Chains A and B, each alone.
Chain A
Amino acid sequence: MSLLSTRGLSKSFAGLQAVQGVDFDLPEGEVRALIGPNGAGKTTFVGLLCGRIAPTSGQVFFDVRDISHLPAHKRIGLGMAYTFQITSVFARLSLFENVALAARRRLHGTAEVEAAVMDALGKVGLTEDPERAAGDLSYGHQRLLEIAMGLVQAPRLLILDEPTQGLSDAEIAGFKGLIRELAASTTILLIEHNMSVVMEVADRVTVLNFGEVLAEGTPEEMHANADVQAAYLGTG
């Protein structure tokens, strides 16, 4: 059964069709990668899913329910979590507080929140000094903090927008392990440019090009697909 689907989802910005008529289905428990050349509409598409951006037309369904008209915070409340492409942590607050703010939506009680926060920080390897200001972290570590803020919400659907951008090779390896571990309990949609991540963690891949779904299939099928290669190399 699909946890998330869209029908005819479209968005245009002043005449530019960023996303057009996308029918998308994401079954529960799957890890799906969303790939495509720059400007293909990937970030806009996930923005439409979680309500950051209002669609021009079309519908979004979450767990069979039509959520097209729900504001973003209510969609998050239903069990979606979203991490930003451009790092968007609370720079002047501590690591702990950043994750605690995400945790308190679901948990109450100091001890419970603290346990969940330390657990999430542990999963991304940021337990060293939780009282440090988030803005003092390196870019890669801020990405990891973003992921921790997503994890601690224990979402049904985790949307990650280019999570490995700026991470070191060792951190990327850690990230792959983390996604495999999470996949047992969470449905994951990730926008990703790093092909080794896509090949290794995704169950299926959706390719967007010019705001439309160009192809969909297993990572191996997409890797071999001539249209996809053409889109990426620009020889289509």
Chain B
Amino acid sequence: MSDRSKTFALHGGVLALLFALQFVLPAYHHGNLARIMVLASFAVGYNVMFGYTGLLSLGHALFFAAGMYGMGLAVHYGGAGPVVALLAGLVAAIAVSLLVGLLALRTAGVGFMIVTLMFAQAGYLTVLYFTTYTRGDEGLVLQQAQRMLGSLDLSQPGPRYFAALGLFAVCMLAVLWMVRAPFGKVLIAIRENEERARMLGYDVFRYKLAAVVISGTICGLAGAAYGLLFGYVGATFASVQYSIFPLLWVLLGGAGTVLGPFIGALFMFYLIDLSSSVTSAYMLVAGVALVLLTLFAPQGLVGELRERVWRWLP
């Protein structure tokens, strides 16, 4: 098999497996997996910047929350249906990521990390400042009637799983296509050696800006979908915790791999889930697992797999 057909077989296989799992999983894991797929879409978006372009952002909660609040406010105050609300979330995420990209990309390295962190904190504080509209920490609860997509009730497990899978498939396949296309190769070139890419005639700033907007848009879409599928829009999702999560998921799963974000989100979710049923010190377990992975699998789970077995993994 050529690398191309192997790539399509593997990623198609994962999606087919996720599709089949909904019929066999018990209710608890069924619900978990739906949530993981939405969070994995968030991580897929993060990976575009961090894994493929080499831009380490500490402020992606801002994009997740921009999509979520764009959607939630449109539903709550505009009476919008799910489709229009998702679009509102997308527009919000695009606008915010464009603005953040234009300003933050004037810096690099540690400066970029700090500027993105500050923007995300400013976003979080903005949500709290406008408590009258956002309900702050308490958040907005979306009613079942507001989550009807035609006759599909997105608050029910079946349609919710299906929608989450659809979202994840779209995000993952879009990124898979992107990294195999010339555009994606330029992003990788910038990650590997920015000065060389510039001296081949590429406008590095524009490519990086495009990466920020694509990343922010996918993360915003994930945020909007999360709010819609789980019926809650709250300030927690704009907090620094949600900037760190995607970084951890991507690091664990493998930065710069198409499947890594999903594997990382899955792994971390169940690590915390399982350990918290055993001990109240579950964050300690998560911490130790992270340290061990960093020591023994610095490329992340899928990254190590690529390093040792499947060289062709995109």
Contact = CB atoms under 8 A, between A and B. Distances in A.
Interface stretch (B26-34, B154-162, B196-204): B196-204
Contacts of A100: 185
B195 A73 contact: no
A76 B192 contact: no
A89 B189 CA distance: 10
Contact of B196 (A77, A89, A92): A89
B125 to A, nearest CB: 36
B193 interface: yes
B199 A76 contact: yes
B188 A93 contact: yes
Interface in B171-185: 182, 185
Contacts of B195: 52, 88
Contacts, number: 54
Interface string A5-43: 000000000000000000000000000000000000000
Contacts of A153: 200-201
A9 B129 CA distance: 54
B192 A82 contact: no
Nearest to A97: B185
B186 interface: yes
Interface of A: 50, 52, 71-74, 76-77, 82, 84, 88-93, 97, 100-102, 104-105, 149, 153
Contacts of B197: 101
A105 B185 CA distance: 12
Given A88-B196, A89-B196, A77 B189 contact: no
Nearest to A105: B201
A56 B201 CA distance: 23
A73 B193 contact: no
Which of B188, B197, B198, B201 has the most C-beta atoms of chain A within 10 angstroms of its own C-beta? Answer: B201
B202 A105 contact: yes
Interface string B197-226: 111111110000000000000000000000
Contacts of A149: 200
Contacts of A82: 199
Contacts of A76: 199-201
Contacts of A91: 192-193
Nearest to B186: A101
Name the residue in A97, A102, A153 with the highest tally of chain B Cβ atoms < 10 Å from its Cβ. A102
20 contacts: A52-B195, A72-B198, A73-B202, A74-B203, A76-B199, A76-B201, A88-B193, A88-B196, A89-B193, A90-B188, A91-B193, A92-B192, A93-B188, A93-B189, A93-B192, A101-B189, A102-B200, A105-B200, A105-B201, A153-B201
A153 B204 CA distance: 18
A149 B193 CA distance: 14
A102 B199 CA distance: 9
A47 to B, nearest CB: 10
Interface centre among A76, A90, A97, A102 (most CB of B within 10 A): A90
B60 to A, nearest CB: 25
Given A84-B199, A90-B192, 9 more contacts: A52-B195, A71-B203, A72-B198, A73-B198, A88-B199, A90-B196, A92-B192, A101-B186, A105-B202
Nearest to B193: A90
Given A73-B204, A104-B182, A52 B199 contact: yes
Most chain B beta-carbon neighbours within 10 Å: one of A73, A89, A93? A73
A71 B188 CA distance: 22
B2 to A, nearest CB: 12
Contacts of B203: 71, 73-74
